[in-house]
Structure 1
Amino acid sequence: MRKFLRLVKKHLFTIIVLSVTMAILLTSLLKETGLAGLAHILSTLDPAWMFLAAGTLGVTWLLEGLCNWLLCRHLYPKWTYARSFMIGITGIFYASITPCSAGAQPMQIYYMSKMGMQGGKSAAIISAKTITHQATTVIFSLLLICTELPFFVKNVSNLTLFTVFGLATNILFIAAVVLISVNAGFIYRWLHTIMCWLGKIHILKKPEEKYKTVITQLDSFHEGFKTMGHSWRLYVAVCLITIVQLVLGSLDTYCIYRAFHLHGASVWLIVAAEVFAAMVVTFVPLPGGSGGAELSFDAFCHIFFGSMTTPAMLVWRLLTYYGSILFGFLYVSIGSRKYLGTPPPEDYQHPDSQNGDAALPTQANQTNCGSS
């Protein structure tokens, strides 16, 4: 019981956010259909299409493990797929319960180190995975939306606003990661100045401690790029798998569309809408993009679902988001007992990479705020 209470206290903010967004969604739905109407809608869903929707979600999880396995195998040839799948689910789970997915990468690195992987190499793998996934998502979503641009311009209100927000947040993130890889010193000095200033105006408490915490993560990403080397075939393979993952991850929306006995919209249109909508809300600063995800779904998928948009949104959110949290929690709990603390596979440093456990940059050793 104490362990459960500690867990609730630790994730209280996430629990409140998820509860509030679900309550708002249910309240809106009940106003539209009533309890009896909602029960009728859910009872008439086509089970075959719902099963297929769950299946496409499961395949995306398997592909997440495959991407991680390819990157892990680059440095650890005997690293198993099962361990990589565990790391992938860990990322999905913590991305779902932390704002802006902020807990995903640090927890993946933590679990990889507990599996016996050296710290520099785990950071290298996760940094490579992060930048390839984000860059692929942005480019692919833009290509998809451009193929049907007249349709979306005509049918999606505020398309320009969604596009600008999605591009700005994603490009800033990618640019920051790339800049860290080539010129970390500039980022560190700029970040140190900003955090010290926030401390002086009493917005940020203990700025030096906060700065060192942030820099520890940035150092890991910086070293990560150097450790992975320049294996373009590896990155091309990961990008191609990511594209397949994005398409399959968006097919669940089409499957839900068909589960509601709706017809007429093409698979390509719904995939394009869902991939782009998901890209837009990547950096909404709430767990799972709560609020933003629902708004984006309504904006892009109301075209297809019409009066069934709110019930469809409920089913979609329960399956893809709350389902991911449930599966992630169960699998991470089980996987932790099986893999954490076990001897690592053969340690191997790829010929085109540098020492992944060399001393990290000393950028964290900045002068303190009082003397800056």
Structure 2
Amino acid sequence: MSTKTKLWNLLKNGGLFIIFAAITFKIFIINGNVKEITSAISHVNLGYIAMGIVAMLLMVFCEALNIKRCLKQVKEYSTLFQCIQYSFAGVFFSSITPAATGGQPMQIYFMHKRKIKISNAMLAIMISIAAYQLVTSSMAIISLIFNFKFFNTTLGEFSILLYLGIFLNMIFLFLLLIAIFSKKLIYQGVNLCVSIFKKFNAEKAEIFKKNALTEIERYKQGAECIKNDKKFIIETIIIVVIQIAAFHSVPYWVYKAFGLSSGTLLQFIGIQAALYIAGAALPFPGAVGIGEGGFLIFFKTLFPVQLLSSAMILSRGISFYLMILISGLGVMYLQLKLNKNTAPIMNLE
């Protein structure tokens, strides 16, 4: 794919994100009581807001730590600081692309630019995604079980998205695990690609097949190494639990920032886990619109009605819009560093 095409795709996805964000801003902020919202936000405890921001940075750190561990497991060296940059790339590109499809390919690409073998980069990212999906789905299911009455009476028709989100995530996890550990499926995928390429260029198809088989052997060795290391798998899942808990704790810190105290941290994490999985059922960039509207539904019994809109703005502002800004700066830094030693970052040919 040419540089121009890739750049156009990124601009198109970014434009789609901006449109959704603008519509959301119009619906939830401009049409609301701006004076009331501004007044409420101006009186929050900034210490708890800082805790929400720290929680999001902890989420990035945990993902970076797992990427570093996965790369080390397949004999690839990368510093924690470099892995934090990859994590920021994942946050940024996942946020501006439908169904968060852009994050992981860009992470793999950035790793490859630093001479990490594509097979190892792909395996590291797929292991991280699998652990993430497992924990995310498990948290949502556990929350649904323990809060079934709450969700049943509070969500109404919105509950359909919750069930659909859990169903889709479980299917995705199942297919992902097959893709990681199924040797037969990997070879079938390569043979399919080769048969298609031969219709256009037989010589290049054979070159592709030779390179792909080499990468597959490396991939298989790494996958076997990880599959047989139970301690590594358990530690990875524990780190992801901390990662997701930090991510889902943001509404709680906003809740505390307003001086409220009757709700518990576990309660907020559980409800936010369900909201997150419901938002994943629809392929909007960053769940823009769904995240905001869902917050008003999921948390309407925990926040006083006069603070609900303000809480939504602060929570989404910290966990999504601020993180886009921070991760975008991280991606810019990564691009500048790579440009000193390699071709421009958008040159994907």
The bucket for the TM-score relative to the shorter chain is: 0.7 to 0.9
Residue type at the aligned position of 1:242: V
Identity %: 17
Which residue number corresponds to residue 315 of structure 1? 314
Q: Report the 3-state secondary structure (helix = DSSP H, G, I; strand = E; otherwise coil) of the residue aligned with 1:304.
A: coil
- Deviation of 1:58 after TM superposition, in Å, equals 1.3
CA change 1:168–1:222 in 2 (3 A) is farther
Aligned to 2:273: 275
Report the counterpart of residue 120 of structure 1 in structure 2. 119
* SS of structure 2 residue aligned to 1:265: coil
Question: Contact conserved, 1:65 with 1:88, CA < 8 A, in 2?
Answer: yes
| 1:171–1:187 distance in 2 versus 1, CA, 3 Å | farther
* Unmatched 5+ stretches in structure 1: 1-5, 197-207, 344-372
SS in structure 2 at match of 1:158: helix
RMSD after superposition: 3.3
Cα separation, 1, equivalents of 2:28 and 2:217 = 46
The one-letter code of the counterpart of 1:304 is L
Q: Scaled by the length of structure 2, what TM-score is found?
A: 0.79
- Whole-angstrom distance in 1 between the partners of 2:157 and 2:187: 36
- Measured after TM superposition, the shift of residue 95 of structure 1 is 0.7
TM-score if structure 1 supplies the norm length? 0.75
Aligned to 2:294: 296
The alpha-carbon deviation at position 321 of structure 1 amounts to 0.9
| 2:141–2:166 CA contact under 8 A, matched in 1 | no
* Distance 1:160-1:252 versus aligned 2 partners, 3 A rule: closer
| CA–CA separation in structure 2 for the residues paired with 1:222 and 1:139 | 32
The CA deviation at 1:296 is: 2.5
Structure 2 equivalent of residue 357 of structure 1: none
Mapped to 2, the partners of 1:256 and 1:59 lie a distance apart of: 17
Matches within 5 A, 1:1-372: 10-33=10-33, 35-76=34-75, 78-158=77-157, 160-180=159-179, 181-182=181-182, 183-184=184-185, 224=219, 227-229=222-224, 230=227, 231-307=229-305, 308-338=307-337
Superposition deviation, residue 42 in structure 1: 2.1
Distance apart, 1:10 and its partner CA = 3.9
Residue 15 to residue 319, structure 1, CA distance change in 2 (3 Å): farther
Supply the distance in 2 between the matched residues of 1:341 and 1:112 (Cα, whole angstroms). Answer: 15
Q: Deviations over 1:228-257 (max 9, x none)?
A: 321221111111111111111111110111
> What secondary structure does 2:156 align onto?
coil
Structure 2 unmatched ranges of 5 or more? 1-5, 343-349
| CA distances 1:77-98 after superposition (whole Å, capped 9, x unpaired) | 6432112111111111111111
**Aligned equivalents of 1:89 and 1:221: distance in 2?**
28
Confirm or deny: 8 A CA contact 1:111 1:340 kept in the other structure: no
Q: What is the distance in 1 between the residues matched to 2:139 and 2:263? A: 21
**Counterparts of 2:26 and 2:338 in 1: how far apart (Å)?**
39
Q: Which amino acid aligns with 2:124?
A: I
Aligned residue for 2:345? none
Q: 1:105 to 1:78 in 2, by over 3 A?
A: closer
Q: 3-state SS of the aligned residue for 1:269?
A: helix
- Seen in structure 2, the aligned counterparts of structure 1 residues 106 and 170 have a Cα distance that, compared at 3 Å, is same
More moved, 100-109 vs 293-302: 293-302
Question: Per the alignment, do residues 27 and 280 of structure 1 end up closer, same or farther by CA in structure 2, a change over 3 Å counting?
Answer: closer
Larger deviation: 82-91 or 258-267? Answer: 258-267
Contact between 1:134 and 1:170, CA under 8 Å: does it hold in 2? yes
SS of match in other structure, 1:262: coil
Q: Which whole-Å CA distance do the structure 2 matches of 1:279 and 1:244 have between them?
A: 17
CA distance in 2, matches of 1:185, 1:62: 31
1:37 Cα deviation from its structure 2 partner: 2.2
Equivalent-residue separation in structure 2 for 1:47 and 1:69 (angstroms): 33
Report the 3-state secondary structure (helix = DSSP H, G, I; strand = E; otherwise coil) of the residue aligned with 2:262. coil
